[in-house]
Amino acid sequence: MKNFGKIFTLAVASALAACSGSANKNTEKGEVNVYTQRHYDIDKKVFEDFTRETGIVVNVVTAGADELLAKLETEAELSPCDLFIAVDAGGLTRAKAKGLLQAYTSAVIEKNVMPAYRDTEHLWTGLTMRSRVIAVSTDLKVAEPKNYEDLASPIYKGMILSRSSSSSYNQALLASIIHAGGSETAQNWAKGVVANFARDPQGNDRDQIKDIAAGKGKIALINTYYLGKMQISDDPIEKSALDKVRIIAPNQDNRGAHINVSGAGIAKYAKNKSQAQALLDYLVKPEVQRQFAGANQEYTVDGSFTSEGVLGKLGKFKVDTMPLQILGEKNPEAIQIFDRVGWK
Stretch that binds another protein, among 67-75, 245-253, 302-310, 318-326 (CB under 8 A): 67-75
Strand partners, 125: 118, 264
**Concatenated DSSP letters for 248-289?**
E---TTTT-B-EEEEEEEEETT-SSHHHHHHHHHHHHSHHHH
Give how far Cα 148 sits from Cα of 35, 59, 160, 206, 287, Å: 34, 41, 12, 19, 34
Question: C-beta of 163: minimal distance to another protein in Å?
Answer: 7
162-181 footprint of another protein as x/- string (CB under 8 A): -xxxx-x--x----------
Question: C-beta of 253: minimal distance to another protein in Å?
Answer: 31
Question: C-beta of 193: minimal distance to another protein in Å?
Answer: 15
Rounded Cα gap, residues 243 and 91, in angstroms = 34
Q: Is residue 148 a contact residue for another protein (CB under 8 A)?
A: no
Q: Is residue 48 a contact residue for another protein (CB under 8 A)?
A: no
Q: Is residue 310 a contact residue for another protein (CB under 8 A)?
A: no
Among 19, 107, 120, 154, binds another protein (CB under 8 A): 19
Among 121, 237, 254, 313, binds another protein (CB under 8 A): 237
Rounded Cα gap, residues 294 and 41, in angstroms = 12
Q: Is residue 274 a contact residue for another protein (CB under 8 A)?
A: no
Among 96, 118, 179, 206, binds another protein (CB under 8 A): 206
143: which DSSP letter?
A: P
CB neighbour list of residue 178: distance below 8 Å, 6 or more residues apart: 186, 330, 333, 334, 337
Rounded Cα gap, residues 299 and 5, in angstroms = 56
- Closest to another protein by CB, 57 vs 113, is 57
Q: Is residue 143 a contact residue for another protein (CB under 8 A)?
A: no
- Closest to another protein by CB, 82 vs 320, is 82
Q: Is residue 204 a contact residue for another protein (CB under 8 A)?
A: yes
Count the alpha carbons within 13 Å of 74 in the hemisphere toward its beta carbon: 6
